[in-house]
Structure 1
Amino acid sequence: MDEVAEFSKSLLKSMAELRQAGELLDITLKVSGRKVRAHRIVLASGSPYFKAMLTGSLCEREKEEIELKGIDDGILRTLVEFLYSGNISVTEANVQNLLPAANLLQIKAVTNKCCEFLKHQIHIINCIGIAKFADTHDCKELYEYACDFIHEHFKDLCNSEEFNQMEPNELANILSSENLNVDSEENTFEMLERWLQYDPNRRRAYVPKLISHIRLPLMSFKYLTNMYENNEFICESVSAKEAVNRALQYHISEDRSKLMGEKKMQVTCRRPAKMLCAVGGKNGFSATLESVEIYHINTKEWVEVAPLSFRRLDYATAVHDRKLYVIGGTKTKIRSCKGSVHRELDSSVERWNPETNAWTPVANMLRCRSHHASAVFHGKIYALGGYDGETYMRSVECYCPLTNQWSLSPPMLKSRSFFRAVVANGMLYVIGGCGQDINSVERFDPDSETWEMVSPMADKRIDFGVAVLHNYIYVVGGHNGTSHLSSVERYDCNRNKWSVVASLNLARTGLGAAVMGHKLYAVGGHSGSSYLNRVEEYDPDENRWQVIDKMLYCRCNLGLEAL
């Protein structure tokens, strides 16, 4: 410690010793009949509240004894001692009284220490209370921290007494958040329903207001229909039933973009994606990439991030809880002695956290798979079909991030490889690929745990891109066994009908597709003559593709996800 800092510390210590000895004291603070003596200069130096009182034009300036209201005498004594020592102990026993008092006296250092203490104490059982406490005392940083915790752990609040006791306006603020961590909008409604059922007679009056914060068009047609016909809270409210009916109209409309504008519907998913992530792939016959790059919607630039832990091909990718998973595929190694490429099937899975820019391994799949597909469905990651080194498979397994375990699920009806999987309208769809019929489509119903065939695509396709936009499934480009495709088809889940939309500007296979905002992106691939770093953006309102910013690297058979 330098001499100046040492002097400051000794000066403060000397003032404390003078106070303890009762020397030069010139002010007495009185609370509930009890008195705390101090030096005016110390109080005014450490607290803007006391500075205004003792140096301004207030009558207290001339008084030797000042009575304070709204503060506990023990807490006042603790705060005065802090002004002399710079030390204070924040505990569960005193924080609820200490923070308001520090706020009142404008002792910011103590307020900040109390807020930091509460941040470390936050839990499912007290997060709502801490948010209310912080809001009451205008602790904005603590309030935002508590709200972020509530949004992140929203699904876990259902067993919290604080959740059951929430006021309607408090719940409305949470339900309206873009950042709720829910697997589906059905989960959001089920949380609302739990709150209503806690005191149904008193709370049913709030259904019209609260249902307006549920993004009904994002629910499946089947779920909405059941709500409309059977849910007691919906059936008893004319306006709530009308809202559900509008969402049903959205599902069956052939012009959903127009309906969105007319009805001012909220059809954007919670926690909307802010970046595209392009993973690995290849840019030569034996040139396997381990690099990863991301495209930010705000900066409109591609930036390289941490690479895969090893080179792999023919894997699947998925996003769960804002983390990117790379699943299975073929591990590639260059044999240094011969310069040849060695490939072997792999069952490993790794996960990228964008906050830390680091990859970590998670549990391996039950079996090796390459050229398979994956999708996130009901909070689990599904790995479907693919090639095991001998045959094309129809087996399905799913991964639970909570338990870090894989388990078997009902197999698909057909064996598939080089295909895609996607979730739409409450169902899991698998589309095209190598197998018996490469234009066929089947879907999995989680209620009956059965697969069924639906309308096939117009074109046969392998190695295409797939994504869901405004509840339509889009399949983009690919290969039909004869030529590279630029065509794009769109599937209406409720009508069980495929239609053709605007084609890509350039035919390609091995591309990735993803949705960000209200746009569809087609990235990378191979044109038949060259590997591509080309990116095209599709606007469904204009039914038009345009070329935008190129990737840093050409990539074919890449993984592409929106985070």
Structure 2
Amino acid sequence: MTSSIELSTQQSISFAIKNFAQLIQSPEFLHYTPEILQQILTSDELNIDCEVDVFEALMRWYQYDKENRKKQLSMLIPALRLGQFDDAFITKYIKPLLNDEPNNTDNRLITDCLTARNERQCKLMVLNDVKKLKYILRYNMSDKKWQKCFDFKFIDYSYALFQHNNCLLFVGGRSRRFQRNNTVKRLDLQTLEWQEMAQMSQRRDDLCAVLLREQIYAFGGHDGGDPFNTAEMYDVQSNQWQLLPSMTKHRYGAGAIVYQDKIYIFGGLSIDCEPLNSVECYDPILNTWSSCCNMHGARGWPGVAILDGLIYVIGGYNEGMLNTVECYDPQLNTWRKISPLNVARFGISAIVVDKRICAVGGHDVYTVEEYDSVNDKWIERAPLPAYGIYSCVEVPNYIVNKLQSQYSVKINKNINRKFRK
């Protein structure tokens, strides 16, 4: 028969597993017994995105009473998903923790838990700016902020970015010598090897594009002259492009998003750099375009996100940076204005985090703002660690584990001392 104490302990463990990302910042976490902590850390359902965060939480617990807890590490470290770490991370940060113990062998670092916990998609932000060094940021659930996860050297910018089969696809854009691209460049996130795929029919800078099922749809853009109204579709499986019916407007720097298998295009700049307030919708099944209700204001390079069946168009550019925000109801084909941003900017990456819209970055800013729909206001959150225009992708967490652990070694970050009192 289960005692009330045992039941209470199991309930506490279940609560800790479900709320691990928040709990590891609390004083309560520092006072767990080794036995309780082991049960928490071994759970497949541990609510955390990145295994490095689990290791850092363990280090925080260990540093709180280092002298007495040193001997417990040989029991707790194998509870980590060690197969998710880069080998260099294990050599640099984990093995030294066990080196002082008698009869130490690497067998304690062998685990059957090679797969990620409760596999999930993690949000990554990839710098899409003129800078040659491209940072990848990830959202840290426990700190509730974006942190550097990886970096790589890449000269292109102003591209459309997608994740497919654990690879990043960079579509169009331009190089540092202002050469416009018609290329699709593929970066394998597991091997970090590059490959060039089939080319578009036109060089497209400042294009807008979406991924729908296994196909990338690219719209508008320019090649240094007047903007295009053309559109084309890339089939990822066959590595082939095909032309689509043209948009009703010539535009570059527009926003685009998929809603209920239809593609909506918002604003952008037209001929003579005139900002647009027009909206149009492409139906891939019927292969036709239709016009939608115009926005209240014209804007180029807006952020676009969907929450609860509504499309939010955020910030942008119109003879200067905008802080205005509008909300579109696709069912009613109507717009309404909502509270403006605190910081005007264009090139925002608009995404949904924890069921709230976030306006991340933008031209020359570190700013992150979160929309409180109940009170209709924007709240500034922890700023980005590197400023600029970003593109967002979602990546399986086992990919993030490898990237983050590789990056931690690369920057020579002494994680073992991070949570020292």
Q: TM exceeds 0.5? A: yes
State whether residues 146 and 385 of structure 2, in contact with CA within 8 Å, keep that contact through their aligned partners in structure 1.
Answer: no
Equivalent in the alignment of 1:279: 127
Q: Deviations over 1:486-534 (max 9, x none)?
A: 11111111000111222211111222222234122212223xxxx2112
Equivalent in the alignment of 2:233: 398
Q: Percent identity of the aligned residues?
A: 30
Q: Deviations over 1:166-215 (max 9, x none)?
A: xxxxxxxxxxxx97xxxxxxxxxxxxxxxxxxxxxxxxxxxxxxxxxxxx
Equivalent in the alignment of 2:161: 317
Q: 1:442: Cα distance to partner?
A: 0.1
State whether residues 315 and 370 of structure 1, in contact with CA within 8 Å, keep that contact through their aligned partners in structure 2.
Answer: yes
SS in 2 for 1:296: strand
Higher helix share: 1
User: Of residues 217, 234, 252 in structure 2, which corresponds to 1:382?
Assistant: 217
State whether residues 518 and 539 of structure 1, in contact with CA within 8 Å, keep that contact through their aligned partners in structure 2.
Answer: no
Partners of 2:193 and 2:367 lie apart in 1 by 27
Alignment of 1:524-539 (within 5 A): 524-526=361-363, 531-539=364-372
Q: Deviations over 1:265-284 (max 9, x none)?
A: xxxxxx6x4223132314xx
State whether residues 443 and 453 of structure 1, in contact with CA within 8 Å, keep that contact through their aligned partners in structure 2.
Answer: yes
Equivalent in the alignment of 1:175: none
Amino acid at match of 1:454: C
Amino acid at match of 2:276: I
Equivalent in the alignment of 1:543: 376
Q: Deviations over 1:16-61 (max 9, x none)?
A: xxxxxxxxxxxxxxxxxxxxxxxxxxxxxxxxxxxxxxxxxxxxxx
CA-based RMSD: 2.7
Q: 1:301: Cα distance to partner?
A: 4.1
SS in 2 for 1:346: coil
With over 3 angstroms needed to count, the CA separation of the structure-2 counterparts of 1:507 and 1:381, relative to structure 1, is same
With over 3 angstroms needed to count, the CA separation of the structure-2 counterparts of 1:547 and 1:561, relative to structure 1, is farther
Equivalent in the alignment of 2:245: 410
User: Of residues 311, 330, 350 in structure 2, which corresponds to 1:473?
Assistant: 311
SS in 2 for 1:488: strand
With over 3 angstroms needed to count, the CA separation of the structure-2 counterparts of 1:522 and 1:289, relative to structure 1, is farther
2:158 equivalent to 1:303: no
Q: 1:324: Cα distance to partner?
A: 3.1
Amino acid at match of 1:305: F
With over 3 angstroms needed to count, the CA separation of the structure-2 counterparts of 1:357 and 1:551, relative to structure 1, is farther
Relative to the length of structure 2, the TM-score reads: 0.60
State whether residues 427 and 446 of structure 1, in contact with CA within 8 Å, keep that contact through their aligned partners in structure 2.
Answer: yes
SS in 2 for 1:277: strand
Q: 1:329: Cα distance to partner?
A: 1.0
Partners of 2:192 and 2:165 lie apart in 1 by 15
With over 3 angstroms needed to count, the CA separation of the structure-2 counterparts of 1:351 and 1:298, relative to structure 1, is farther
State whether residues 140 and 147 of structure 2, in contact with CA within 8 Å, keep that contact through their aligned partners in structure 1.
Answer: no
With over 3 angstroms needed to count, the CA separation of the structure-2 counterparts of 1:453 and 1:289, relative to structure 1, is same
Q: 1:292: Cα distance to partner?
A: 2.2
Amino acid at match of 1:347: N
Equivalent in the alignment of 1:343: 178
Equivalent in the alignment of 1:327: 171
With over 3 angstroms needed to count, the CA separation of the structure-2 counterparts of 1:532 and 1:435, relative to structure 1, is same
Equivalent in the alignment of 2:133: 290
Q: 1:355: Cα distance to partner?
A: 4.5
With over 3 angstroms needed to count, the CA separation of the structure-2 counterparts of 1:321 and 1:473, relative to structure 1, is farther
2:290 equivalent to 1:452: yes
Q: Whose radius of gyration is greater, 1 or 2?
A: 1
Partners of 1:447 and 1:353 lie apart in 2 by 31
Q: 1:416: Cα distance to partner?
A: 0.7
SS in 1 for 2:172: strand
Equivalent in the alignment of 1:509: 346
With over 3 angstroms needed to count, the CA separation of the structure-2 counterparts of 1:439 and 1:295, relative to structure 1, is same
Q: 1:430: Cα distance to partner?
A: 0.8
Equivalent in the alignment of 1:561: 393
SS in 2 for 1:344: coil
State whether residues 326 and 351 of structure 1, in contact with CA within 8 Å, keep that contact through their aligned partners in structure 2.
Answer: yes
User: Of residues 198, 205, 210 in structure 2, which corresponds to 1:370?
Assistant: 205
Q: 1:356: Cα distance to partner?
A: 4.7
Alignment of 1:434-453 (within 5 A): 434-435=269-270, 438-453=276-291
SS in 1 for 2:294: coil
Q: 1:400: Cα distance to partner?
A: 1.3
Amino acid at match of 1:478: G
SS in 2 for 1:550: coil
State whether residues 280 and 289 of structure 1, in contact with CA within 8 Å, keep that contact through their aligned partners in structure 2.
Answer: no
Q: Deviations over 1:93-149 (max 9, x none)?
A: xxxxxxxxxxxxxxxxxxxxxxxxxxxxxxxxxxxxxxxxxxxxxxxx79x98xx9x
Partners of 2:324 and 2:266 lie apart in 1 by 15
Q: 1:378: Cα distance to partner?
A: 3.4
Partners of 1:378 and 1:427 lie apart in 2 by 12
Does 1 or 2 have the higher relative contact order (CA < 8 Å, sep 6+)?
Answer: 2
Amino acid at match of 1:296: Y
Partners of 1:512 and 1:475 lie apart in 2 by 11
SS in 2 for 1:452: strand
Partners of 1:500 and 1:359 lie apart in 2 by 43
State whether residues 274 and 516 of structure 1, in contact with CA within 8 Å, keep that contact through their aligned partners in structure 2.
Answer: no
Q: Deviations over 1:140-160 (max 9, x none)?
A: x79x98xx9xxxxxxxxxxxx
State whether residues 425 and 471 of structure 1, in contact with CA within 8 Å, keep that contact through their aligned partners in structure 2.
Answer: no
Q: 1:426: Cα distance to partner?
A: 2.1
State whether residues 305 and 350 of structure 2, in contact with CA within 8 Å, keep that contact through their aligned partners in structure 1.
Answer: yes
Q: 1:360: Cα distance to partner?
A: 3.9
Partners of 1:360 and 1:277 lie apart in 2 by 21
- Unmatched runs of 5 consecutive residues or more in structure 2: 1-111, 396-421
Alignment of 1:53-452 (within 5 A): 273-282=121-130, 288-299=131-142, 300-308=145-153, 310-321=154-165, 323-332=167-176, 342-356=177-191, 359-435=194-270, 438-452=276-290
Q: 1:304: Cα distance to partner?
A: 4.1
Q: 1:402: Cα distance to partner?
A: 0.9
2:324 equivalent to 1:492: no
Instruction: Report how many residues are paired.
Output: 279
Q: 1:375: Cα distance to partner?
A: 0.4
